[in-house]
Amino acid sequence: MKFLRRNWDSVGLFFWLVAAITLFFIWNDITVVQRLLLMNFITMTVHQFEEFGFPGGMPILLNVEKMKSENPERYPQNQNSVMIGNMITSYIFYLLPVFFPNHIWFGLGGVLVGLTQVPVHVGVAKMLKSFYAPGNFALLLGHVPI
């Protein structure tokens, strides 16, 4: 569990690779909705790596700048809460609908998470007084077009 807690965002890149290769080979065999859902999952794993892996910095940024935490290395975003929240989001809300495309409402979780990405990242960029905030490249090149 310690390995996963410390490396969940890098482990996500493995699933990104598996999903991308799978999508390449099954492109013509799945529906357009399934393609979009799988591309959304791929984008989310890259997005999470950008926020928490490379260049990273999102948890400490929010803990220090936004929450003004007295213990920014641990509260409110810590390794465990970030891992659980992000893995549940990506592997359930984004991946589950790919396997059950006839239950269209399964995709609602990913859509709602996706809708919050733009305003959240615009807010973080404003807070930093910068165009870039961790996760913006994946947001602009993946989430927005999909």
How far is C-alpha 97 from the geometric centre of its chain's CA atoms?
Answer: 16
Residue 128 has pLDDT above 80, yes or no: yes
Q: How confident is the model at residue 3 (pLDDT cuts 50, 70, 90)?
A: very high
What per-residue confidence (pLDDT) applies to 8? Answer: 94
Q: Is 112 exposed, middle or buried (0-12, 13-18, 19+ CB in 10 A)?
A: exposed
Domain range enclosing 96:
2-143
Residue 48 has pLDDT above 80, yes or no: yes
- What is the count of structural domains for the chain? 1
Contact 18, 42 (CB under 8 A): no
Residue 72 has pLDDT above 80, yes or no: no
Q: What is the pLDDT of residues 88-110, one digit of tens each?
A: 888 998 999 999 988 988 988 88
In what helix (H) or strand (E) does residue 64 lie, and over which residues does it extend?
none
Please compute the mean of the pLDDT values over residues 50-58 and round it to a whole number. 91
What per-residue confidence (pLDDT) applies to 110? Answer: 87
Residue 25 has pLDDT above 90, yes or no: yes
Residue 146 has pLDDT above 90, yes or no: no
